Amino acid sequence: MTAQRDYDIFEAGDVALQSGAVFPALKLAYKTYGTLSPAKDNVILYPTSFSAQHFDTEWLIGPDGVLDPTHYFIIIPNLFGNGLSSSPSNSGEAPLPQLDYHDAVAIQHRLITERFGVSKLALVYGWSMGGMQAYHWAALHPDMVARAAVVCGSARCAPYNHVFLESVKAALTSDPAFRNGRFVEKPVAGYRAMGRVYAGWAMSHGFYRDELWREAGFTSLEDYLVRTWDATFARRDANDLLAQIGIWQRGDVSRCASFGGDFDRALAAVKAHMLLMPGATDRYFDVRDNEDELGKLVNAKSAVLHPIPSLHGHRAGNPVNNPRDQAFIKAEIATLLSK
């Protein structure tokens, strides 16, 4: 018996991508929470992060959560390459035509305007790759985005971040299942190698020094690595993971016809209330990148940099079982939504 699907599909048709390629029958999977107001002014867009599907991130949606569906209509669009929206695993395209965040935002824009008739977003909220999408939204549709929360994200992929992703790709593609530019079967060893690389980058020096993994009930460092990281990416198709890594590495708000690679001009286009909320100990979305961006948000209604004071590294921005960081983020979003 086939399980009932808990999300909807927006069929975008054949789409001309920013790269010049055409993606046939492009599909965007999405899920909604709450009720759209008669004025259609209570919409929060919440794009997904690396390898995540909507049910991985919906934990922060709830009456007592960071995003409240009793007041807001929340839309989670699944990023291309995550296995629900168009991906190598469900489209027969491996590798995918070159997609980037500009393509994702363009189709998300079609979704909310064509399907819901929405012309204004109360908030775009995103963590990691979702935060990069939030930044793209604020720059590309400045009159549409009232507020944007960039959580452990940036306006472009920094060189250090790019190198981290190269290590992830190298670990994954070292598996013999990777042949002629694609995976022909599940890379069991590659998944584990990728997880071990990720474990070192995703969490901070202090997290491991202070053995904070014990707070989640792990009995040893090896127990934590095995149960948290060794199989964390094995639930996803490996070709899908490579597609999303490519989107991540190409991320740059200014790399489009509108801005012609002028990064300062792209950030100056932003008009929203901007909250830049990096993790204080995040190793690949570094606080210093957001510090540099802050000075370029010259036309934003407001722009603040409030790092999450946490030893949980990049995962401070997705604190599923971390009440301290969750409380910090909730308070910051409440303040942002009051503006």
> What Rg, from alpha-carbon coordinates, does the chain have?
19
Q: How crowded is residue 298: how many other Cβ atoms within 10 Å of its Cβ?
A: 10
Strand partners, 223: none
SS3 310: coil
State the alpha helices, DSSP H only, in 144-225.
159-173, 188-202, 205-209, 221-224
Of 35, 36, 61, nearest to 46 by C-alpha is 61
φ/ψ (deg, to 5) at 126? -155, 145
Q: Are 49 and 127 in contact (CB under 8 A)?
A: yes
Residue 160: which residues within 8 A CB-CB, separation 6 or more? 284, 286
φ/ψ (deg, to 5) at 130? -65, -35
Of 305, 308, 314, 304, nearest to 329 by C-alpha is 308
Strand partners, 67: 61
Q: Cite the active site residues.
A: 128, 282, 314
Strands (DSSP E) along 2-146, which ranges? 8-16, 22-33, 43-45, 73-77, 123-127
CA distance 271 to 24: 34
Of 328, 331, 271, 278, nearest to 302 by C-alpha is 271
SS3 295: coil
CA distance 284 to 159: 9
Of 114, 95, 337, 117, nearest to 239 by C-alpha is 95
